[in-house]
């Protein structure tokens, strides 16, 4: 199958206009070409995600149920025409059945990626909207590297806290009755923040995300996100 012919058949598949003969040709081409099969899966996944954006009430389960209903309907028609008392040799799958068998395999392979994407997206929104409780996170991260997302104040460790020789931003967070300081590890995120906001001599409300660990008795935050909260 040439590249041009493959893309022509792929377009018909996505449009829902693929004929039986073309479906059989596409099946033959995909059976021995894992790269193209992977490409078809990706196109179907993107098509299904786009359809869900355009039609919010449509879920992945609806797509899967539609495929199952079609398969069951065709299986029922086959049982009607086969005599119950005469044993028959298994017949060669028709082009249409080969096409739908391929569709079922592709649909099954899409169920897990779509679910993972939805779960990942939901958990990411939850982390941003509901930052981790500070005391529990910091207590569990003593000597360990733990990912956190929290609200606090960006202050200058030199001008405000008088704990460093040079100006550098730090994050102050409420912990129980007192406060705790998270010193920022030197990376591109903290350097860019300091370049834009200065040393934070005037405290700023901030959303901080990253990995916390203890080094030389100090809590260090390797920031992956530092965002000013207005």
Domain 134-228 has CATH 2.60.40: no
Question: With left for phi above 0 and alpha for psi between -120 and 50, is residue 162 left, alpha or beta?
Answer: left
Q: For residue range 27-82, list pLDDT tens digits in order.
A: 888 877 888 888 777 777 666 655 554 555 555 566 566 656 655 665 555 455 44
Q: For residue range 146-189, list pLDDT tens digits in order.
A: 788 888 888 888 888 888 888 888 898 877 777 888 888 888 88
Q: How high is the pLDDT of residue 104?
A: 52
Question: In the chain, where does the domain assigned CATH 2.40.50 lie?
Answer: 134-228
Q: For residue range 212-223, list pLDDT tens digits in order.
A: 888 777 888 898
Strands 204-215 and 218-228: antiparallel
pLDDT band at 21 (very low <50, low <70, confident <90, very high): confident
Residue 6 has pLDDT above 70, yes or no: yes
Q: 96-100, 172-176, 190-194: which range is least confident on average? A: 96-100
3-class secondary structure for the chain?
Answer: CCHHHHHHHHHHHHHCCCCHHHHHHHHHHHHCCHHHHHHHHHHHHHHHHHHHHHCCCCCHHHHHHHHHHHHHHHHHHHHHHCCCCCCCCCCCCCHHHHHHHHHHHHHHHHHHHHHHHHHHHHHHHHHHHCCCCHHHHHHHCCCCCEEEEEEEEEEECCCCCCCCCCCCEEEEEEECCEEEEEEECCCHHHHHHHHHHCCCCCCEEEEEEEEEEEECCEEEEEEEEEEECC
Report CA-CA distances (Å) from 80 to 76, 83, 84.
7, 8, 9
Q: Which residues contact 96 (CB under 8 A, 6 or more apart)?
A: 20, 23, 74
């Amino acid at each position: 199958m040439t590249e041009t012919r493959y893309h022509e058949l792929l377009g018909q598949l996505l449009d829902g206009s693929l004929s039986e003969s073309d479906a059989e040709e596409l099946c033959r081409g995909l059976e021995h070409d894992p790269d193209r099969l992977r490409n078809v899966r990706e196109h179907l996944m993107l098509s299904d995600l786009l359809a869900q954006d355009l039609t919010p009430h449509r879920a992945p389960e609806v797509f899967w149920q539609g495929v199952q209903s079609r398969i069951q309907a065709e299986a029922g028609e086959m049982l009607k025409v086969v005599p119950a008392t005469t044993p028959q040799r298994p017949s060669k799958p028709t082009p249409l059945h080969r096409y739908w068998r391929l569709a079922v395999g592709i649909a099954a392979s899409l169920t897990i990626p779509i679910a993972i994407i939805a779960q990942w997206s939901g958990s990411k929104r939850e982390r941003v909207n509901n930052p981790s409780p500070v005391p529990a996170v910091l207590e569990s991260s003593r000597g360990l590297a733990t990912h956190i997302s929290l609200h606090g104040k960006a202050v200058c460790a030199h001008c405000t806290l008088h704990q460093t020789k040079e100006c550098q931003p730090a994050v102050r967070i409420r912990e129980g009755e007192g406060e705790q300081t998270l010193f920022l590890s030197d990376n591109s995120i903290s350097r860019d923040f300091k370049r834009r906001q200065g040393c934070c001599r005037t405290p700023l409300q901030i959303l901080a995300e990253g990995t916390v660990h203890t080094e030389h008795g100090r809590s260090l935050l390797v920031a992956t996100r530092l965002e000013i909260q207005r």
